[in-house]
Amino acid sequence: MSGAILARGATLPSGERADVLIDGGIIARVGSGVDAAGATVIDADGLLALPGLVDLHTHLREPGYEQSETVLTGTRAAARGGYTAVFPMANTFPVADTAGVVEQVASLGRAAGYATVQPIGAVTVGLAGERLAELGAMASSRAGVRVFSDDGLCVADPLLMRRALEYVKAFGGVIAQHAQDPRLTEGAQMNEGALSGRLGLAGWPAVAEESIIARDVLLAEHVGSRLHVCHVSTAGSVEVIRWAKARGIDVTAEVTPHHLLLTEDRVEGYDARFKVNPPLRRSEDVHALREALADGTIDIVATDHAPHPAEAKESEWAAAANGMVGLESALSIVHETMVATGLLDWAGVARVMSQAPARIGGLAGQGEAIEAGAAPELLLYDPEPRSGFSIDRLSGRSRNTPYLGIDLPGRVVAVVHGGYATVLDGALRPAEEVAEAARHAWNTPEARHG
């Protein structure tokens, strides 16, 4: 599995057809008539070759919540969806607020081998929003943390948020904010509007998100630091971010696949698979998010993959946990909502799902263009088939997907990470083989010293 891999006749994001040879820990050749004795050959005729996808917002749950997901099971789900790198959020138990915890998570990712695992560190100790966590220690640790977030909770204290932005500026870090005013969303259950009133569910107003984003972009401007806005969900948020970028503020933003596809109407059946934070919004918001992703106001797609055990979702709406799994379905949803609608081409997909997330997260060796000398991170995708999304497409530990039965396009055929295959012919490679290939990759001089 660690030998050369040749994808023959693939279509690059530019639309050009080429053979892609991965050998010696790099993309060795890209062109026509490429050959390599002994290589594993993949017939890529009709397949798109994209840089391995990078998810800047994943929940792997380990340590502490292994009943929902582990680093191994979560990265298997990531590989099945075309991802070669994920950034796991800090809301574990213990919280990833020290160098020791983030190093543990990164080490588990290296051992599993299915994807690069680049931990996100907590902004505040225990996510309590009272004092800053060990930001510098996490940044200088072997994990090399550059993204910090209290995701699941908002850094609501403006002074604490200012101090965090000032602190990470020294080493090129970024604060990824979960924009949710806690007072405006007390008891909130779904998007605030006529539907929430009819269903008898407490409303979650758009201004609760928009007001925090407005405050934070001004703070980022004031201190000259980087801000990243997690899971943008409203048209008003788009306008605030657009204004901030026009002003030259160093802000980036993400949208989730589910906010590109699903609307608040899904809540009518009280099916808790559709309960998520921030909530599903109006069709007008969905349209605004798609347009913002297309024009660059929103920089990336991030899954917010949030696994839960069955009992956390199979309950009455008010008691159910927020969140849905999304790694295996993300590329198909972006295909459906952005490519099939003409809003993005495949080069645009590579930008918002690979190149820009790697750049924002400061992750070298990911998101590179498919060319000779680049890192060996590659995805082969068949855009033609359509099928109803089913449980057998999930490879993680949890099953809380909102897409069951929804007709979606495309199929991930093969994934190469670190120069070895993690997925071939649509199937995950065995864990033992992947772990052995990862050990070999990590024992090269380049890996030890790079």
Binding residues for Zn(2+): 57, 59, 151, 178, 231, 304
Largest CA distance in the chain: 66
DSSP state of 142: T
The HSE-up count of residue 329 (CA atoms within 13 Å, CB side) is 33
Q: Please name the residue that has the structure tokens 């000779």.
A: 372
User: Angle at Cα 425 formed by Cα 25 and Cα 57, nearest 5°?
Assistant: 65
Residue set of the binding site:
57, 59-61, 91, 151, 178, 231, 277, 304, 308
C-alpha of 407 from chain center: 22
Task: Round the CA-based radius of gyration of the chain to a whole number and report it.
Answer: 21
User: Angle at Cα 168 formed by Cα 162 and Cα 171, nearest 5°?
Assistant: 155
Q: Is 304 a catalytic residue?
A: yes
Q: Please name the residue that has the structure tokens 């992750």.
A: 363
Helix (H, G, I), strand (E, B) or coil at 126: helix
Q: Please name the residue that has the structure tokens 């980087």.
A: 226
Measured torsion, CA atoms of residues 232, 130, 71, 74, in degrees rounded to the nearest 10 = -20
Residue set of the binding site for substrate:
59-61, 91, 277, 308
* Active-site entry in 35, 157, 304, 345: 304
How far is residue 241's CA from residue 244's CA, in Å, rounded to a whole number?
Answer: 5
Catalytic center residues: 304
